[in-house]
Amino acid sequence: MVSLGASALDLVVQLRRVRGGGRIVEEIGLLDRAGEELRVVPVWSVRGGVAGAAPRLAGLLAARGVAVPRLLI
């Protein structure tokens, strides 16, 4: 089952609900598979800013022909 999730998804975006019912992005992470273990590796968070997996996300975006945000470079 882990391989199904890992092959279908690359990115996880965690949203937080704020007053008035709106939502803001709390954290962005990449799914990382190590054998049968699946974990989320931080790319960016509202508290910590850019994290260690940012270059990996930049590479994935570039490989798909998507403009890479300056924040990730």
Q: Extract the tokens encoding 15.
A: 């949203």
Examine the pLDDT at 2 and tell me if it is beyond 70. no
Q: What is the DSSP letter of 67?
A: P
Q: Where are the domains of the chain?
A: 2-72
Q: What is the pLDDT of residues 5-51, one digit of tens each?
A: 556 778 999 999 999 999 999 999 999 887 778 899 999 999 999 99
Determine the Cα–Cα distance for residues 54 and 11; give it in Å rounded to an integer: 11
Examine the pLDDT at 4 and tell me if it is beyond 70. no
pLDDT of residue 61: 93
